[in-house]
Structure 1
Amino acid sequence: MSHRLVLKNITHTFEDGGRQRTILNTLNLQVSEGELVAIMGPSGSGKSTFLSIAGALLKPTSGDVLVDGEAINRLDKQELADVRLHKLGFIFQSANLIPYLKVKEQLILVAKLSGMDKRIGARRTDEILRRLGLDHRSDAYPGKLSGGERQRVAIARALMNDPAVLLADEPTASLDATRGLDVVRMLAGEARELGKSAVMVTHDERILPLCDRILYLENGSLIEQ
């Protein structure tokens, strides 16, 4: 089994009032294909920094982030943008859907940005929406969707370019227990069935039984529960 996401000896520091602060301290993580890993920790423990580094939004002070074996933190700005578009799928707390685009248009936009052939993009959009039980909502605007449906659209959008890694930031924070469980169950299922490495930052203990591993971020390092 391959590890589609690997963080090796990640350290991240910054200067605060003339003092050097360490947020992540030689952090290591390997996420296998088909695996969903939950990352927990108190506010201020570095979860957002961790997710930004794993998602190629922030370069670590030292260490390497490997996606499908490639050290993405060593790439230039344009190469990083390509990695974010083609190798990484993001799912945010508030879904971050574009309010004036219909459900299917949210996905087609991703295909267009990546240069996907128009017919292939349309076919893939239909396939993913059907797979996630959203085909009957394809012409709905985000304002007409329930919170759970919006998060399912966010998962569909994240899957559009067949990424190696799925990264979710508090995806159940605005959902009730039933809808939160449904969303994470779907995320875990897609990771396993499609061979993705999935990482979810969460405070929601209700959904932990659906995860393959639970790690706690303490003192800049990950500790397995």
Structure 2
Amino acid sequence: MNIQLELQNITRTFQDGGAERHILDRLNLQVAKGELVAVTGPSGSGKSTFLSIAGALLAPTSGQVLVEGQAIRNQTERELAALRLHKLGFIFQSAHLVPYLKVREQLLLVAKLAGQDKNQAAKRADTLLRTLGLAHRSQAYPEKLSGGERQRAAIARALMNDPSVLLADEPTASLDAERGYEVVSLMAEQVKAAGKSAVLVTHDQRMLPLCDRVLRLENGKLTEIPPVQREKRQLG
């Protein structure tokens, strides 16, 4: 199994009225190449903290994160920024597109920051937009896009630098069921086709059948939800 994202014994604590509280408690996770993993859990369970640590945006109190087998502990801010730019792709709840850039320009900006060749970047941007059904919207500003189109643009942007790991934080929260399913379906297809590893944090039970594994975060730990239990929850 080719593991592209690994969290080893991740603990994150904070002080609350003089007492130490655990948000994450010796949490472990491995995500293989071509695998889409969903993480669910109640509000306040630490899902955002978990995703921030996985994405090198927040340092754990103890434990380590490995991306493509490389530990990121003790890296400088510059090294972490390069890691996020080249190895990690982020998809957020509200897309976070730059309002004054057209769709194609959103992708080219990412390539420019990474120092990609302009011609190669242009070709990759056009390929991604075609693949995600956005070629006809390449010159549109974010305000002119539907919710589903904005999220597809966010997926294209996240894939622009060919990262090994995709991290998505509630990407369907602002979408109806049909558009949400479409967005996660596209994400799942890209993970399989391009050999990415992906983690999807979601409350949306309807998206779970598209995922290879479903984990629940509670009391600081991840536990896998068997397929039978997943089906019961969806029916319920």
Q: So what's the TM-score if we normalise by structure 2?
A: 0.94
**Are 1:30 and 2:41 counterparts?**
no
C-alpha offsets along residues 8-31 of structure 1, whole Å, 9 cap, x if unaligned? 110111112211111100000000
CA contact (8 A) 1:11 1:63 kept: yes
SS in 2 for 1:31: strand
Superposition pairs of residues 40-59 of structure 1, within 5 angstroms: 40-59=40-59
Mapped to 2, the partners of 1:196 and 1:121 lie a distance apart of: 19
SS in 1 for 2:203: coil
SS in 2 for 1:34: coil
SS in 1 for 2:186: helix
For 2:124, the equivalent position in structure 1 comes to: 124
Mapped to 2, the partners of 1:200 and 1:136 lie a distance apart of: 28
Q: CA deviation at 1:192?
A: 0.8
SS in 2 for 1:25: strand
For 1:61, the equivalent position in structure 2 comes to: 61
SS in 2 for 1:74: coil
Mapped to 1, the partners of 2:127 and 2:209 lie a distance apart of: 29
Mapped to 1, the partners of 2:76 and 2:210 lie a distance apart of: 36
Q: Sequence identity, in percent? A: 70
Mapped to 1, the partners of 2:74 and 2:135 lie a distance apart of: 40
Q: Which runs of 5+ in 2 are unaligned?
A: 226-236
Aligned length: 225
SS in 2 for 1:198: strand
SS in 1 for 2:73: helix
Superposition pairs of residues 1-225 of structure 1, within 5 angstroms: 1-225=1-225
Q: CA deviation at 1:6?
A: 0.4
Code of the residue aligned with 1:78 in structure 2: it is R
SS in 1 for 2:124: helix
C-alpha offsets along residues 91-115 of structure 1, whole Å, 9 cap, x if unaligned? 0000000111000000000000111
Code of the residue aligned with 2:81 in structure 1: it is A
Q: CA deviation at 1:76?
A: 1.2
Q: CA deviation at 1:73?
A: 2.6
Code of the residue aligned with 1:191 in structure 2: it is V
Q: CA deviation at 1:74?
A: 2.6
Bigger drift between 116-125 and 105-114 goes to 116-125
Mapped to 1, the partners of 2:84 and 2:121 lie a distance apart of: 18
SS in 2 for 1:7: strand
4+ long deviations beyond 6 Å: none
SS in 1 for 2:65: strand
Q: CA deviation at 1:155?
A: 0.2
Mapped to 1, the partners of 2:91 and 2:32 lie a distance apart of: 19
CA contact (8 A) 1:128 1:156 kept: yes
Q: CA deviation at 1:218?
A: 1.1
Mapped to 2, the partners of 1:35 and 1:164 lie a distance apart of: 11
Mapped to 1, the partners of 2:68 and 2:147 lie a distance apart of: 32
Mapped to 2, the partners of 1:152 and 1:121 lie a distance apart of: 18
C-alpha offsets along residues 48-95 of structure 1, whole Å, 9 cap, x if unaligned? 100000000000011110000011133111100000000000000000
Code of the residue aligned with 2:82 in structure 1: it is D
Q: CA deviation at 1:133?
A: 1.1
Aligned-residue Cα RMSD (Å) equals 0.6
